[in-house]
Amino acid sequence: MAAVLWKIAGETFDLAARGMLMGVLNVTPDSFSDGGEFFDTDLAVKHGLEMIEEGAQIIDVGGESTRPGAGGISEREERERVLPVIDRLRAAKTRALISIDTSKAGVARAALDAGAAIINDITGGRGDEAMMPLVAERGAAFIIMHMQGTPRTMQTAPHYGDVVAEVGEFFRQQYDRALSYGIDPMMIAFDPGIGFGKTLEHNLELLRSLARLRIEDRPLVVGVSRKSFLGNILGSPEAALRLAPTVALTALLRERGADVLRVHDVRPNRAALRIAEALGEMR
Q: Which of these is catalytic: 81, 227, 242, 254?
A: 227
Q: How far apart are CA 50 and CA 107, in angstroms?
A: 25
Q: Which of these is catalytic: 109, 198, 262, 270?
A: 262
- Sign of torsion, CA 262 225 227 217? positive
Q: Nearest-CA neighbor of 262 among 65, 13, 25?
A: 25
Is residue 113 within 8 A of residue 138, CB to CB? The reply is: no
Is residue 219 within 8 A of residue 236, CB to CB? The reply is: no
Q: How far apart are CA 59 and CA 116, in angstroms?
A: 9
Q: E-assigned strands of the chain?
A: 5-8, 11-14, 20-26, 58-62, 97-101, 118-121, 141-145, 188-191, 221-222, 260-263
Residue 199's identity, in one-letter code, is T
Is residue 81 within 8 A of residue 27, CB to CB? The reply is: yes
227 counts as catalytic: yes
In a 3-state reduction of DSSP, which class is residue 11? strand
- The DSSP bridge partners found for residue 25 are 61
Q: How far apart are CA 100 and CA 256, in angstroms?
A: 26
Active-site residue list: 227, 262
